[in-house]
Amino acid sequence: MDRNDRVLVVAAHPDDEMLGCGATIAAHRRRRDLVSILILGEGITARYGTRAEAPRKELVKLQSMIRRAARAVGVKDVETHSFPDNRFDSVPLLEITQRIEAAMRRVRPTIVYTHHEGDLNIDHERTCRAVLAAVRPVPGSAVRAVYAFEVASSTEWRASASKAFVPRRYVDVSSTLPGKLAALRCYGSEMRPFPHARSYEGIRALAARRGSEAGVRAAEAFDVLREVVTGRHDR
């Protein structure tokens, strides 16, 4: 992570952004990088059938959760959309891609974080595919790195071993993990009791496990979907 990076986090649902890379977001903000969050799905209609059936107060409450979680890791720029929860496959991929492209034109990110394509959740898979289409390497693109994060209770439940999440990049989050946990507390109703993977204890355990793989106390792990190194960014 270089100083003055512009970071775009593209998530399918509210809380995915924090489960996947909340502590890394906090680390970027400590470095004074600009971070924007794009959440594509409204994250609620799977419980009610349609958005029209969802109580308005629930939709308003969810938007409040999103904003408070972002503030917990130092982010003000959050854009949300209303693709149907757990039904991204009912939407043309081009439509999802175009929403991401619009965000990219506004943010001009140098680093993009998104879902792992092998996740069990269909919305995660479609989000990854749409991001890869949106960040295709063309002359003049500012994007030099695209990373896929893991989401507890989805990535490890993948249907096929051939699409296993294999970390290739680790971010030391020993000092920023508390910020991630604070953000997840804003999504308290989405968390589960231990030993569920999406419990506070489970999140700490995953960070410790990834940290042990990298020789640090706590880490978030990523697959590298693309990384372009130039003379300017050589270490």
Summarize pLDDT for 89-111 with one digit per residue, the tens.
Answer: 999 999 999 999 999 999 999 99
Interval 191-211 mean pLDDT: 94
- List, for residues 5-52, the tens digit of each pLDDT value: 999 999 999 999 999 999 999 999 999 999 999 999 987 655 555 555
Beta strands in the chain (DSSP E): 6-11, 34-41, 77-83, 111-115, 145-149, 169-172, 219-227
- 226, 133 contact by CB (below 8 A): no
Percent of the chain scored above 70 by pLDDT?
Answer: 91
Buried residues in 95-119 as b, exposed as e (16+ CB within 10 A): ebbebbbebbeebebbbbbbbbbbb
**Mean of pLDDT over the chain:** 91
Give the per-residue pLDDT at 60: 85
- The structure tokens listed for 157 are 């439940």
Confidence of residue 136 (pLDDT cuts 50, 70, 90): very high
Confidence of residue 53 (pLDDT cuts 50, 70, 90): low
Give the per-residue pLDDT at 1: 47
Topology adopted by domain 6-190+220-229: Rossmann fold (3.40.50)
Triad 16, 8, 121: Cα angle to 5°: 30
Residue 164 one-letter amino acid: A
Give the per-residue pLDDT at 106: 97
Report CA torsion sign: 70, 80, 35, 180.
Answer: positive
- 187, 94 contact by CB (below 8 A): no
